[in-house]
Amino acid sequence: MLRTALLTAAGSPACRSLVERSPLTRPVVRRFVAGAGVDDAITVTRELAGSGRLVTLDHLGEDTTDAAMAAATVKAYVELLALLADSGLADRAEVSVKLSAVGQRLPDGDRVALDNARRICEAAAAAGTTVTLDMEDHTTTDATLGVLRELRADFPWVGAVLQAYLKRTEQDCRDLAYPGSRVRLCKGAYSEPPSVAYPDKSEVDRSYVRCLRVLMAGEGYPMVATHDPRMIAIAAELGKDRPGWEYQMLYGIRDAEQRRLAGGGRMRVYVPYGDEWYGYFMRRLAERPANLAFFLRALLTG
């Protein structure tokens, strides 16, 4: 119930302006977001790389309403990728892209998003790194997988995210478990109807394990994106004799566990940066009462 309320607030312009304008929000946001500028992104990447962690960088933004905003997002990624290459970090860091940020919701959005994502892939190829497409709400799943297919024809290393809370995902895992296919498996962070998604957490967890089995038995490159100790242990068991897979967690969450897993050489951190942090931040609050308590405590104590 609280989760649904927070996810609804994530889409509300009134809540957005309230939360964004509060001077007390920013220090809390900094726990989950590297900072506003590309320099912050590079600094945090360097720090994480220094402790043996790999990184995927997300230029925040998901409410792109015109072509100019989409073009600005592409420009931000191209600049970031050039900086990663210049700083010698391109072998430690890739980028994650939300298709809504590069125009998926505009008229003729699938074509616009494909063209823009292609430009980001070209910049990633020039920098010597990779791109993973984030997955948003279920109304975009087919379109996002369509863009993935097109991009992979030219850039076979483009990764995809699949969400275990969707009932379709076990089959999507089967379809994408082919050689070279990078698949980031997460539980899913949006408010979805029971017609398409498992409503119970225990069902989502069971689906996650089924999907993990499919990916680990397949020939692709599984990216196990979770903070859940049980899923981490199951992945360790399923993947113990398997080369080519990694754990992934979000920046600011379970830092000690991230460092421990980095010791095994397969830990990547998802690092968001930029001004458009509202939707991302609200989804983190919705995920976990402790995150919300941390936020409320900071607001109350200033």
Applying CB under 6 A, which residues contact ligand FDA?
134-135, 161, 163, 184, 186-190, 225-229, 248-250, 253-254, 270, 287-288, 291
Q: Which is nearer to ligand FDA, 17 or 51 (CB)?
A: 51
Report the chain's C-alpha Rg in angstroms. Answer: 18
Q: Which is nearer to ligand FDA, 260 or 288 (CB)?
A: 288
d(CA 140, CA 293): 32
Q: Which is nearer to ligand FDA, 38 or 183 (CB)?
A: 183
d(CA 73, CA 273): 12
Name the catalytic one among 184, 266, 268, 284: 184
d(CA 229, CA 256): 13
| Residue 291 beta carbon to ligand FDA: minimum distance, rounded to whole angstroms | 6
Instruction: Give yes or no: 26 in active site.
Output: no
Q: Which is nearer to ligand FDA, 110 or 136 (CB)?
A: 136
Element (H, E) at 272: strand 267-273
| Residue 109 beta carbon to ligand FDA: minimum distance, rounded to whole angstroms | 18
Cβ atoms of 54 and 100 within 8 Å: the answer is no
Name the catalytic one among 110, 134, 172, 205: 134
Residue 61's nearest CA partner among 287, 276, 280 is 276
Residue 83's nearest CA partner among 62, 60, 59, 61 is 59
d(CA 267, CA 258): 7
| Residue 85 beta carbon to ligand FDA: minimum distance, rounded to whole angstroms | 22
| Residue 18 beta carbon to ligand FDA: minimum distance, rounded to whole angstroms | 23
Active site members: 134, 184
